[in-house]
Chains A and B, each alone.
Chain A
């Protein structure tokens, strides 16, 4: 199993360390952060031998099989290239890169070097999302999806996150083309990209600032986003990102010509919507009971998984990392197809271009590439 290094020792690095520790055989050999004190605190807490302030030196001295890049997005492209050049497989936190062309160049280099690369779209690998994928693979939808819906919420109540970025126009989040959205929406967009064709024929995005953020002195930062997408096969998708909806939503709905599926990642639930009709007033009685049975089934399964210690808060990350390591050692395919990583990046580029150019309404086609 691989020898792993982590570049970027901020908050998310802890989650990576804990997930990697749960993968039998994987060992973390080095951590690196431009701020040496940050690298040292992580190394000390988890007893990691290698501690570096320079990525080049770390790659030279430790020669890791895999590098996890958990730095701010602006450095993902350069660090990814550096790691691939050094012969390491690369796991890059979301957002994969700042722009789609950067994503393309990373994937191109990985292919040239015969190395694997993946994006930190870990919410694609929660148990309920894996179950959804199995159902779709078994033909439950009855063909191509007709419509997709993705909801993604982020609570700005914790001022530890939003405070520093509002107060500092040079904060790295403010420097991203999509600002707050850029750092937060990848998970919600990636689940749409999985089922959309690469050729997007229509995308409409609208964004605005919530009253809450305005009261915090949000300046030019927007925090409410809605997107409509259509691909060349007529599959449509809607995406809603909100900081204000309560309770927070992390949901995905995929609708087919035969049946549909709803996934609620907040509660770890998957509900199958089977196309059946009922006579008369039974329409008001049977479907609610069927749905109730679906939810009870979810609760029972989650209870068993908790009891058997199979369900962790970050099950998605552990699963993604495990599958990625498996793809390196030949146990399985790459967990996230490159087309999905690229399409996610292209959709995000198109969203940000549109909301900044027009504040909203015009439709801009997203040309497929590669």
Chain B
């Protein structure tokens, strides 16, 4: 592993940094990398009911009990946000409560972010607000198969039709952050990680297929996955909060040497046997269209869980680039894809069960 220590930061090593979602899969790694970089005034926001296993492991690893302050609360509470943002220079906002409902997703994403951004502007020393979003905000409906999907690609304009509450929440969150940037001068950067994988997350990304019907349906096969290994993704996030002259920028986060879904599934099956049936993309698209039509005609008797927009977003297959990430943040993947896959698959070995 080679650790690239960036040249110039917008915040001193003693500057106060807040990380929300700090016990999450990516958040704990962000804290780890910040400690690696030598930051000594970290505040981690956690839910009162959270089990803090991941975060505690990181704190113990660096003997950082005095360096890392834990603040417990709810981002839907303005008072809790004010406590968290007090005196903070940089916020890494990773908290993402998952909720299947659109209203719940909106609350967890947009409302929580509004509260945090307000608190940052009022109680912090606003230097950078890093908002961690998702590839789910994109729509590739009008893009051809294998066409490049980058930071300028169209955003989803009908999340309700796509039946994607998470994507809706993230779209509204980004909308809010951009408007705070324009109207209230919030210095922000938005990151859109692709499919984040690594030890500690055993599920296959939905971009490979679905297991809704009791067995795994592998959709497509040659579609490239926008993979990013958790260490690489976390480092991109960390850099987005530290590198100067990138306020208002948006970055996609994907690794080098991306695999296709068939390549990923083949490697996965070697360590974790799985019965799967392959469904060509065109067939999946046709079935999704039929499902969507029935859902509409029956006034929602079947929710439109499968629809053309979702089918395209997950399985159409586009090409992805990290050029902007490299050029503007000076990011390099810490872990190469081959090693990343080894680390991911190692968790399925007998001792890890």
Contact = CB atoms under 8 A, between A and B. Distances in A.
How many chain A residues sit at the interface, stated as a range, is: 20 to 34
A37 B50 CA distance: 27
A13 B160 CA distance: 15
A166 interface: yes
A332 interface: no
A35 B111 contact: yes
Contacts of B2: none
B102 interface: yes
Contacts, number: 68
B114 interface: yes
B101 A217 contact: no
A167 interface: yes
Interface in B70-89: 72, 74, 76-77
B1 to A, nearest CB: 33
B101 A11 contact: yes
Interface string B38-55: 000000000111100000
Interface stretch (A98-106, A143-151, A289-297, A304-312): A304-312
A42 interface: yes
Given A167-B48, A167-B74, A312 B300 contact: yes
A37 B47 contact: no
Given A164-B74, A166-B49, A42 B300 contact: no
Which range contains the number of B residues in contact with the other chain? Answer: 20 to 34
A10 interface: yes
A37 B74 contact: no
B37 interface: no
Nearest to B176: A37
- Leading 3 A-B pairs by shortest Cβ distance: A167-B48, A167-B49, A11-B101
26 contacts: A10-B103, A10-B104, A14-B102, A22-B300, A37-B111, A38-B103, A38-B106, A38-B111, A41-B110, A42-B103, A45-B102, A45-B168, A164-B47, A164-B76, A166-B48, A166-B49, A167-B47, A167-B49, A167-B74, A168-B48, A168-B74, A216-B49, A309-B297, A309-B299, A311-B301, A312-B301
Interface of A: 9-11, 13-14, 18, 21-22, 35, 37-38, 41-42, 45, 159-160, 163-164, 166-168, 216-217, 306, 309, 311-313
Given A14-B103, A37-B111, 15 more contacts: A11-B103, A14-B102, A18-B300, A37-B110, A38-B111, A41-B102, A45-B168, A160-B98, A163-B47, A164-B76, A166-B49, A167-B72, A167-B74, A312-B301, A313-B301
Interface of B: 47-50, 72, 74, 76-77, 97-99, 101-104, 106-107, 110-111, 114, 160, 168, 172, 297-301
